[in-house]
Amino acid sequence: MSSEHDRRDFLTYLGWFATLGTFGGISVASARYMVPNILYEPPKSYKIGKPQDYPEGVNFLPDKRIFVVNNGGNYKVISAVCTHMGCTPRWIAEKDRWECPCHGSIFNNKGVVIGGPAPKPLPWYEVTLGSDNKLFVNEDRIVPFSQVLTIAA
Amino acid sequence: MIEKVKNIVFQNRFWKSVFRHGMPVNARLRSEAVMSNLFLHIHPVKIYKDSLLFRKTLGLGLISFYLFFILCITGILLMFYYIPHVQRAYQDMKDLEFAVSFGMILRNMHRWGAHSMVALVFLHMCRVFYTAGYRHPREFNWGVGVILFVCTLALSLTGYLLPWDQLAFWAITIVVNLIETMPIIGDDLRYLVVGGTLVGQNALIRFYVMHVMVLPLLVTMLIAVHFWRIRKDGGLARPE
């Protein structure tokens, strides 16, 4: 085994290392590049105006895709995004339930699935009253059905 | 007179540099003409007469290719007016239909061409399957064909979002939610495809780039391989 042979092997490995390192690095960097770090999407927590703006019953906010439910001064907010494929269920007042137009999922007045392909109930979002007397919804906090915001008339 | 014109047109260095053989007047020159022409060499130099009968293939593969060609041309023309921005896309599409001269026919050629291509590629696969064209020695070309079919569906899907109307938005919302249901990688893959958490501007530009650049390049390359292999695998399948 001559030292010249060792040197040739070493340079061969070095060449492979450099080539694979370069192309591997570029590939990994390109893949990572495709995953955005900053999103210019609407915020997950926001104000939706004063409680008095929402009359008794179920009020749909199309921009935020939520329903604001006012049950005699007890305020609750539920998602208007069907848990099946993300369509917008409609509130059917006569039947006291939500029905999704896309694939026929049905949610009762508690948001629980009572029919159709939806795998999960509609989530209720935390709603609080700010110091400016405006309702504040936080979609990152999902609350149980029993939690309500009661506002004295 | 005619001889003189013939001489001027055919007997010069330019013509001979393009077509390296003489006029295809005999069998040998005819086969040479086919062999040395990129666009004609889809068939081998020697071919069974039966293979050329229309009823053997119904021309489904070539029709798929012609549709792809029509889609490329009409697609390039549509790109001159369409801007993939959430506030422009739908308006541009309506302009193409109602304000741009011949815009409606171009858009509809693209739309119906796309629908037809999905159907024709599927029928082409059926024909190859039922004539056992997927068997040795054509297994590899069948594989390339399957990838081409998937690319056709991907082109169809990415193009579906571009009008940015209700139909497009909800169709893509449903598809990306389907992606989300994949085990383990579902959430990350959805984020990557949409470029965020909602189907918005990032999703529109991603689908647009895939639709007008990445997938057409991939399909063009695969079609080249697909056609080349028809020739190399000995032409069309026939009963043994």
Residues 6 or more apart in contact with residue B78 via CB below 8 angstroms: B96, B106, B107, B110
Residue type, A49: G
Residue of A nearest to B170 (CA): A87
Low pLDDT (below 70) residues in chain B:
240
Which of B 63-82 lie inside 8 A of A, CB atoms?
Answer: none
Residue A122: DSSP 8-state: P
Class of domain B58-232: mainly alpha
Flag if B200 and A102 touch (Cβ within 8 Å).
no
Residue A121: DSSP 8-state: P
Residue B130 CA to residue B138 CA, distance in Å, equals 14
- What pTM did the predictor assign? 0.78
Length of chain B: 240
Residue pLDDT, tens place only, B117-162: 999 999 999 999 999 889 988 999 999 999 999 999 999 999 999 9
Hey, what are A56's tokens?
A: 């008794």
**Residues of chain B neighbouring A39 (CB-CB closer than 8 A):** 196-197, 202
Please report the pLDDT score of residue A102 as a whole number.
87
Sorted by where each begins, the domain ranges of chain A are 1-35, 45-150
CB A37 within 8 A of CB A96: no
Reduced to 3 states (helix: H, G, I; strand: E, B; else coil), residue A58 is: strand
Please report the pLDDT score of residue B38 as a whole number.
82
Residue of A nearest to B174 (CA): A85
Flag if A35 and B191 touch (Cβ within 8 Å).
yes
- How far from the centroid of its chain's Cα atoms is residue A126's Cα? 14
B167 touches chain A (CB under 8 A): no
Instruction: Give the DSSP letter string of A124-135.
Output: EEEEEE-TTS-E
Q: How far is CA A62 from CA A48, A115, B61, B232, in A?
A: 12, 24, 47, 59
DSSP H helices in B58-185: 60-79, 89-98, 103-130, 139-161, 166-180
Residue B168 CA to residue B166 CA, distance in Å, equals 5
Sorted by where each begins, the domain ranges of chain B are 1-41, 58-232
Phi and psi torsions of A137, nearest 5°: -105, 135
Flag if B192 and A39 touch (Cβ within 8 Å).
no
B221 touches chain A (CB under 8 A): no
Residue pLDDT, tens place only, B86-104: 999 999 999 999 999 999 9
The complex scores an ipTM of: 0.72
Hey, what are B196's tokens?
A: 């965020």
Q: How far is CA A92 from CA A89, A113, A119, B202, in A?
A: 9, 15, 20, 34
CATH fold of the domain at A45-150? Rieske Iron-sulfur Protein (2.102.10)
Supply the angle between the helices B139-161 and B103-130 in degrees, to the nearest 10. 150
B187 touches chain A (CB under 8 A): no
Per-position pLDDT tens, chain A of length 153: 556 678 889 999 999 999 999 999 999 999 999 999 998 888 889 999 999 899 999 999 999 999 999 988 899 999 999 998 888 999 999 999 999 998 999 999 999 999 999 999 999 999 999 889 999 999 999 999 989 898 876
Hey, what are B21's tokens?
A: 């053989």
Residue B186 CA to residue A61 CA, distance in Å, equals 29
